[in-house]
Structure 1
Amino acid sequence: MHDLNRLRDEVCRVGQSLFQRGLTSGSTGNISVRTPDGGWLMTPTNASLGNLDPSRLSLFDAEGRFVDGDAPTKESFLHFSMYGERPDAGAVVHLHSTHSTAVSIMADVDPEDVLPALTAYYVMRVGRLPLVPYYAPGDQALAEAVRSLASRHHAMLLANHGPVVAGTSLANAQYATEELEETAKLFLMLQNHAKRVLTPEQVADLRRRFALP
């Protein structure tokens, strides 16, 4: 129980931090973590990440059945699609963060790898970022599209929607999501400038040095 309460507090702390720094707004965005018994905690539907109540987070058992708390986020299927393909995932963060969402709307990005390697830390924390085609909110086809990529990518960008990022811990998922957002911001700032991105050789070197997939 102590570990579960610690996770509840951590979800609320991270949610408040993301909200206060403008990475999510209103009732958008959702967070989940894997619990010690193999279940999951998720943020509830229609809840602001800036004002979460630890006792009201949605609790699922190890079979994915909702068992306690407020009604879960309507986008819980995104989280389960990631967990189902990534047994090492300890947490998933999904935001509608402004710059990442703006990039997801651009017509001329590479859907196989949306953002260029602008910095070493983007390569290390995010890596290759695919674009998931647009589906209406709640469409189960979106779950299948995410699932088809999740085994090969821990981060992806949903077209006209925002990022979904898994991590081995909530901290790692948070940091990768923030790195993605900052890189999207840099990418948009540099649109009218020639860019000196990392070369394929430099990216390959980072992958070797840090044992990246």
Structure 2
Amino acid sequence: MSEESRLREEICRYGRSIFERGLTFGSSGNISVMLEDGWLMTPTNASLGSLDPARLSKLDLEGRHVGGDKPTKETFLHQGMYRRRSNARAVVHLHSTHSVAVSVLDDIDPEDVIPPLTAYYVMRVGKLPLVPYYRPGDPALGPAVEALADRHRAVLLANHGPVVAGTSLDAAVYATEELEETAKLHLMLQGRRTRPLTPEQVADLRAHFPD
């Protein structure tokens, strides 16, 4: 099996797992993975639960559609991450319920949406900024994500959902899952006194587990 064929199968396997666990629904969400000559992307209006490896969209290194079904209208979210993060090899964008719920809270810090509640959140997600609201498919979302991507492996789109880059598809999916679970914790703890990690503890984790 070629590397591209393996990655096609992997995208579909992760898509099905994400869908079956309720982390996305309908035809929402999209996944991409870098190749040597471009990248693979889940198609527009496709359910992540029933992807066909042969029909995944293929784009060249400039983002032009060169094979498979038409790519998602949110391709530019992925392009923004790839252009600014040289180590990014995969990007996951979901409309996961708890992450979206956090994105609509009125009193969050737009520069750091979720406090550092756990070590694994700091290690896999880091500091999470909020991208202001744009309608889905608005090309202005691309530059908005790109402006933050060199400093953040994950961003949260206001009233929309997370965009997460990883050094592999495994890493991107794991970070997205960690973000969703920490968003759930954050919501569960609303109105309660919490004890997030201290700045010193966060700095220690970042020193031992750099991006």
Q: TM-score range by the shorter chain?
A: over 0.9
Output the CA distance in 1 between the equivalents of 2:39 and 2:206: 31
| Equivalent position of 1:186 in the other structure | 185
Amino acid at match of 2:201: Q
Cα distance, 1:192 vs structure 2: 2.1
- TM-align CA RMSD: 0.9
Please state whether the residue corresponding to 1:140 is helix, strand or coil: coil
Output the CA distance in 1 between the equivalents of 2:80 and 2:207: 29
| Equivalent position of 2:154 in the other structure | 155
Q: Does residue 197 of structure 1 match 2:196?
A: yes
Q: Does residue 107 of structure 1 match 2:106?
A: yes
TM-score under structure 1 length normalisation: 0.97
Q: Does residue 47 of structure 1 match 2:46?
A: yes
In structure 1, runs of 5+ residues without a counterpart are none
Q: Does residue 133 of structure 1 match 2:120?
A: no
Output the CA distance in 2 between the equivalents of 1:62 and 1:146: 19
Amino acid at match of 2:81: M
Q: Does residue 2 of structure 1 match 2:22?
A: no
Alignment deviations for residues 60-90 of structure 1 (CA, whole Å, 9 cap, x no partner): 1222211111110110010011101111110
% identity of equivalent residues: 71
In structure 2, runs of 5+ residues without a counterpart are none
| Equivalent position of 1:31 in the other structure | 31
Output the CA distance in 1 between the equivalents of 2:151 and 2:37: 22
| Equivalent position of 2:21 in the other structure | 21
| Equivalent position of 1:62 in the other structure | 61
Cα distance, 1:172 vs structure 2: 0.2
Output the CA distance in 1 between the equivalents of 2:197 and 2:117: 6
Output the CA distance in 1 between the equivalents of 2:41 and 2:71: 6
Alignment deviations for residues 40-64 of structure 1 (CA, whole Å, 9 cap, x no partner): 0000000000000000000012222
Output the CA distance in 2 between the equivalents of 1:38 and 1:155: 24
Please state whether the residue corresponding to 2:80 is helix, strand or coil: helix
| Equivalent position of 1:83 in the other structure | 82
Amino acid at match of 1:8: R
Cα distance, 1:138 vs structure 2: 1.3
Please state whether the residue corresponding to 1:50 is helix, strand or coil: helix
Please state whether the residue corresponding to 1:40 is helix, strand or coil: strand
Output the CA distance in 1 between the equivalents of 2:183 and 2:148: 20
Alignment deviations for residues 140-199 of structure 1 (CA, whole Å, 9 cap, x no partner): 111111011011111000000000000010000000000000000000000021111111
Cα distance, 1:209 vs structure 2: 2.1
Instruction: Give the length in aligned residue pairs.
Output: 211
Amino acid at match of 1:57: L
| Equivalent position of 1:73 in the other structure | 72
Amino acid at match of 1:104: S
Consecutive aligned runs of 4 or more in structure 1 exceeding 4 Å deviation: none
Output the CA distance in 1 between the equivalents of 2:151 and 2:200: 21
Output the CA distance in 2 between the equivalents of 1:141 and 1:55: 31
